[in-house]
A and B are shown apart, each in its own frame.
Chain A
Amino acid sequence: MVRSKNFFMKFYLALIIAFLYIPIAVLVVLSFNDSRSRVVWGGFTLEWYKTLFHNSDVVAALQNTLTIGFGSALIATVIGVLAAVGIDAMKKRSYSLTLGVGNIPMLNADIVTGIALMLWFSRFTNLGYVSILLAHVTFNIPYVILSVLPKLQQMDMSVYEAARDLGASSVKAFTRVILPNIFPAVVSGFFMAVTMSMDDFVVTYFTKGAGINTLSTMIYGELKRGIKPEMYALSTLIFAVVLIVLLLVNYMPRIRQKQIQRKLQNRKAAS
């Protein structure tokens, strides 16, 4: 009875994971398909992986996607961390007002955010790389704050005050006392921001203007004419890289711990 219940729970978990990963499996299979058609299997090939980086449009779109992703996440992290520290010190009323207005880009419909920014930017300047970047920073900041603020609230701020009383400048007190405490939350906020930026289509679509593409808008444009098979290869590569990085980040600390233990044992044995 207990065993069958356990089996059922694991089965359900596996089903959900399968649901999330089946489309990705489809794309991986297509990336090795020796046919330009999406529905015909023409045999195994590595062709698309070879031609991938010779296609200057694809490379440009990839560059835009990556630099906007990491750039907007970096700017959002700096602004967001400072904001979280500031908001944490606010009185209740300005606290909820600032946070409430700040969360608008996250809670508002993407299509409204995109259109509003497009109308606003096109008043002053041509749409392009910079307008996409600014738009991405805007919707990324709330994710950073959301990640950092709870950590700050758990932290005992009297430590910071003590550092200040003992003569540390506010910058030093921030970098030496606050930052180490909230660092994991800062990192996860940063990666959340990169992910949201890479995943975005709607806001980019409205704020990009003509003549520039990220991977999302490029693929959307190709949908009706037929997607270049290189795209499947590229997305498989990105997926593989992220998977490896995540596994390393997760298992590295454990491996390092084992190495340190072994070193200590060796030292003990030597003495």
Chain B
Amino acid sequence: MNKRSLLAGPYIVWIIGFTVLPLLMIIFYALGDGRGEMTMSNILAIFEPVHLKALLLALWLAILCTGICLVLAYPLALILRKLNIGKQGMMAIIVILPMWVNFILRIMAWQLLLSRNGLINGALGAIGLPGQDLANSSMAIVIGMVYDYLPFMILPVYNAVTDLKDDVIEAARDLGAPPKAVLTRIMIPLTKPGIISGITMVFVPSLTAFAIPDILGGGKVMLIGNIIEQEFSTSMNWHLGSGLSIALMIFVLISMIFTSNEEEGKERRAW
């Protein structure tokens, strides 16, 4: 321990006080049954059909959302690199600026856009297509989540793609690699840390979301986040709520090991 590392002191105190101990607290609640006995039943309650169904639906929507975000963000990053714009951080500003408009209001605006006589159906009708009943469905939730989490995919992927050296790509081309091979064998492998960072930043919040499903699902679609939230707000069963949270956390950890086992020891960077 040298002297300069003592500067991290306040930070270490802070993480112990406001990250480690609160997490122990939630474990403590999860293992209690409210009568002073230890129990695993709150955590194992995740396997009850109604909870498991909500978890699996949340997982499916989160995978969809993460996949769509990646498919939208990667070409965008390639285009920005090609057009050589956004070097001065302009793209970061464009992507972050919407966050200053209240999150709930932006999601509510999607509710209006997707409703039966909303703008999207109006536009579809104008070009002669049949109207879609988009509001209050799983599809609406996915659209809302893609909208809200896309910046968290764009920024790391864009950073990774702009960091690619032109020389490497030129070398691959000079050696006769067709464009497809340049993409799949050079660019994607080299930008993998950015891709993985983007996937984590989108997958975790979309798996655990509760406000977006609440607003855009119209109370019809129950995801695991909604069930946990209701244990605290309406059912007032803090022990069960904590147990399900812990189960959800374990589930997230397992899926993260699944995606990131190859980048052991590498720095994670978000922007």
Chain A interface residues toward B at CB < 8 A: 6, 9-10, 12-13, 16-17, 19-24, 26-27, 38-39, 79-80, 82-83, 85-90, 94, 98, 101-113, 115-120, 123, 134-135, 137-138, 141, 143, 145-147, 150, 170, 192, 195-196, 198-202, 205-206, 215-216, 219-220, 223, 227, 231-232, 235, 238-239, 242-243, 246, 250
Contacts and interface: CB of A to CB of B under 8 A. Distances in A.
A115 B241 contact: yes
Contacts of B109: 22-24, 26-27
A140 B231 CA distance: 27
Interface of B: 1-12, 14-15, 18-23, 25-26, 29, 72, 75-76, 79-80, 82-83, 88, 90, 93-110, 112-113, 115, 117, 119, 147, 150-151, 200, 204-205, 207-208, 210-211, 215, 225, 228-229, 232, 238, 241-242, 245, 248-249, 252, 256, 268-271
A105 B11 contact: no
Contact of B8 (A82, A108, A147, A227): A82
Given A16-B76, A111-B225, A120 B7 contact: no
Given A12-B76, A23-B107, A82-B8, 20 more contacts: A13-B80, A17-B94, A19-B147, A39-B117, A85-B4, A85-B7, A86-B9, A89-B5, A94-B5, A101-B19, A101-B20, A102-B15, A106-B270, A143-B270, A196-B99, A215-B102, A220-B104, A223-B215, A235-B101, A242-B100
B88 A250 contact: yes
Contact of B248 (A104, A105, A112, A192): A112
A86 B249 contact: no
Contacts of A231: 102, 105
Q: Which 9 A-B pairs have the closest CB atoms?
A: A86-B8, A83-B11, A23-B109, A109-B208, A86-B7, A116-B22, A89-B4, A120-B22, A26-B109
Contacts of B211: 201-202, 205, 220
A104 B88 CA distance: 30
Contacts of B23: 104, 116
Given A13-B79, A216-B104, A219-B105, A110 B208 contact: yes
Contacts of A201: 103-104, 211
Contact of A102 (B11, B94, B208): B11
Dominant secondary structure of chain B at its interface with chain A: helix
A188 B85 CA distance: 20
A243 B97 contact: yes
Contact of A115 (B2, B9, B232): B232
Contacts of B14: 79, 137-138, 141
A239 B249 CA distance: 35
A119 B22 contact: yes
A53 to B, nearest CB: 17
A10 B84 CA distance: 12
Contacts of B112: 26, 38-39
A161 B18 CA distance: 33
B103 to A, nearest CB: 5
A108 B249 contact: yes
B5 A198 contact: no
5 contacts: A119-B29, A145-B11, A219-B105, A219-B108, A232-B105
B8 A83 contact: yes
Contacts of B75: 12
